[in-house]
Chain A
Amino acid sequence: MFNSQKVSATRLTIAIIVTLFMLFPLYWLLITSFKPAEELKSAIPTFWPKHFTFQNYVDAFNKAPFLRYGMNTLIQTVGVVTLQVNIALLAAYAFAKGNFFGRDKLFLAVIAAMVVPEQVVFVPVYVMMANVGWLNTFWALIVPNAVSAYGIFLLRQAFKSINNDVIEAAKVDGAHRLHILYRILTPMALPTLVTVLIFKIIGSWNSYFWPLVMTNTDNMRVLTVGIAMLKSSIAGNEMLNFQLIMAGSVLVAAPIVILFIFTQKHILTAMSNSTFK
């Protein structure tokens, strides 16, 4: 039999090694953003900047209107996530507790939508957006992303695990459907909801392809596209000015990391409690 202390020590060591592996790219991102360009060219990589500089951040800010980009990213994310979460709640409630013709088949259609990548559907959506004159507006950034099949799927699972008696009792008390959904079911499915919320915020914040395709002017661009515009490269594929890109990336990633730190507890319970049930 294993000594339990030994086991936990082994576990800890493995955990530390794995964590280091995960943290290293972030560490590299951060220190590269503080290195001067010359240091990146040197043959032996330095694990700590020899000359610590903020110049890359200054350059990144000067080269593009990052405040405008940040504002746009924020508006897009808030819009998308608000719609996604509410529509997912309503749809998940119907799929989990509703009783109507073709319910399960419709749900399969929703799941099928999960496996279709955006590159497949963007052409017809682009045409639609062009026809209604929504290109280069927030409508095109938000409305086509209003429904998240993934969110519907996760919340349906959560709602399914809630006993019907709860709903019946509320009905007896005279609660109508929206009241049941938002006041009773939603709090009970909170861990799942937080998971959906966080994944969707991250997804929308980091989206690149969609906002690039749907917008045309500098005042509608988002952060991720802004970073791509800082790039200097060889024939478009081999990056030469990593220090600038990294500085830009730190600016984009910072809000997400801060969000993670503050909501860490919810994320962890959500992951272990609901997703793998």
Chain B
Amino acid sequence: MKMKKWLVGLTTAMLVMSSMIGCSSSTPTSTNASEATAPPATEDKTPVTIQYWHAHDDDQKAALENMVQEFNKKYPWITVDTVFQGDYDTLQQKLQAAIAAKQVPAVTNIEVHALPQFADSGVLMDLTPYISRDKLDTNDFSEGMLKAYSYQDKQFGLPLIVSTSVMVYNKTMFDQEGVKPPQTWDEIEEFAKKLTKKDGNEVSRYAFSVPGWDTWYFDPWIENGGGAILSDDMKTAMIDQPDSMKFMKLFKDWKDKGYMHIGYGKGASGNMRQMFFDGKIGMVEHTSALIKWYIETAKFEVGVSFLPGDKKRNSHMGGASIAVMDGIKDNEKEAAWKFVQFMTGAENNIKWAEGTGYLPTRKSAISSEEGKAYFAKYPQYKAVFDNFDNVIGPPKSPAFNEASAAYEEAMGKMVLNGEDPETLLKDAAKKMNDILKDQ
């Protein structure tokens, strides 16, 4: 007993100490919120090196190298060091350490769900004054994609890697059965009835599947039904409101009728993909980053449709921005800003999208000759761009990731145990409010 007490005491002391060290030095160093003007643009061509910390996978490496080369042609005095820092989670952990050590890279990726956390702590450079100084035409960006990286009316980074959830369907099967992908929730019942096949009580073919393993896939369903995940001030959970619960009640109904497949837990994604390829599911909701992969892998014709809508018709963004860190020298900021503009610029937008498999972000790029050629090659992407401005960011609360675990669990209980959505979501809302209160 005595020993245990000692242990607990010591460990707690160490934890507190280390977290104190971590926190005390991670307070923002040079944030000046009232400063709304950028230093005047200077034509300083003294050589400068900036680091770009990224989470780009191997298959995006060639596109990245190509972009850096092009950038160097344009700005020969700026050297960009690209440093791979693992996946988004590891990159963020390392970024936090770097902030504490006051040795930050000039440019970094910020995953879209992590933006509020980083923006809130004042470690990212506010790009707004630079945007207005250099008269960057922000209207050329998809409105939703741009707004996803603003926080309290300030722009902290520009969209770089953008994906969104789409409906990928088996076009060959749809043509045979004479169905079209549903565009509204009202059309789903009829669509699913036609496509679902049963052997006795066993479902041998589901009409469609929505992933339950990550809230990202059903978050837009909550909002499209007229509901919300969090209140506008981000302080209360809205998941227990009638409009917010509508989607899950429908999901349960569709699931019970055998229309709908919902994957949950480890391996669910692989399972869903396999069932789709085997023709056991007609249509799956998945990330647009995989459209090309679906087209290449499937032995049938693949079509893509935007998420069906009800009161709204939105879809949520995934991916990351490219952002500038605060706490670097002024000439580095200037170079970093040039790099950020170049990486997100309209001139290379299509090439970047093609090289990485992510979505173009610029309206002018889409309507350019290059853009037209891209759509001719991949007509499947058109479904996304017809709804370009409806691709929006997730709720901007620093506690969102933590809070979303509560209703992800609710989805799991509905899928696995067939529990009642209303009770589940009311419980989830209580848990979420507890988490939000601590913020």
Contact = CB atoms under 8 A, between A and B. Distances in A.
Nearest to B89: A236
Interface in A120-142: 120-124, 126-127, 129-131, 135
Contacts of B278: 43
Contact of B57 (A120, A123, A129, A236): A236
B11 A124 contact: no
A120 B86 contact: no
Contacts of B93: 119, 122, 213
A220 to B, nearest CB: 11
B33 interface: no
A231 interface: yes
Nearest to A130: B101
Nearest to B6: A108
Contacts of B432: none
Per DSSP, chain B at the interface is helix
A108 B319 contact: no
Nearest to B10: A112
A130 B103 contact: yes
A109 B320 CA distance: 42
Contacts of B22: 123-124
Contacts of B26: 123
A119 B21 CA distance: 14
A269 interface: no
A228 interface: yes
Contacts of A121: 14, 18
Nearest to A225: B86
Contact of A116 (B3, B11, B85, B269): B11
A12 B22 CA distance: 53
What size tier do the contact residues of chain B reach? Answer: 35 or more
B58 A230 contact: yes
Interface in A220-264: 225, 228-238, 240-241
Contacts of B98: 126, 130
Contacts of B277: 43
Interface string B21-37: 11001100000000000
B163 interface: yes
Contacts of B102: 130
Contact of B21 (A124, A129, A233): A124
A66 B10 CA distance: 42
A123 B21 contact: yes
A225 B58 CA distance: 12
Contacts of A119: 93
B87 A237 contact: yes
Contacts of A233: 57
Contacts, number: 107
B297 A41 contact: yes
Contact of A234 (B15, B18, B289): B289
Interface in B59-116: 59, 83-88, 90, 93-94, 96-98, 100-103
Contacts of A122: 93, 97
A124 B274 contact: no
A59 to B, nearest CB: 10
Interface in B1-15: 3, 6-7, 10-11, 14-15
A229 B84 contact: yes
Contact of A236 (B83, B84, B87, B293): B87
Given A126-B97, A126-B101, A237-B87, A232 B59 contact: yes
Nearest to B11: A112
B21 A212 contact: no
Contacts of B57: 231-233, 236
A128 to B, nearest CB: 8
A67 interface: no
Given A232-B58, A235-B319, A236-B88, A120 B101 contact: no
Contacts of A53: none
A217 B83 contact: yes
B290 interface: yes
A234 B286 CA distance: 10
A108 B84 contact: no
A61 B70 CA distance: 27
A111 interface: yes
B14 A112 contact: yes
B309 interface: no
Contact of A228 (B19, B51, B86, B94): B86
A217 B49 CA distance: 14
A17 to B, nearest CB: 23
B100 A127 contact: yes
Interface string B370-398: 00000000000000000000000000000
6 contacts: A130-B102, A135-B101, A230-B58, A232-B57, A232-B59, A236-B57
> Considering the complex of A and B, which 9 residue pairs feature the smallest CB-CB distances, nearest first?
A130-B101, A126-B97, A123-B22, A112-B10, A124-B21, A232-B59, A127-B101, A236-B87, A123-B97
Interface of A: 41, 43, 63, 105, 108-109, 111-113, 115-116, 119-124, 126-127, 129-131, 135, 209, 212-213, 216-217, 225, 228-238, 240-241
Given A109-B10, A225-B86, 6 more contacts: A43-B277, A123-B18, A123-B22, A123-B26, A124-B21, A241-B58
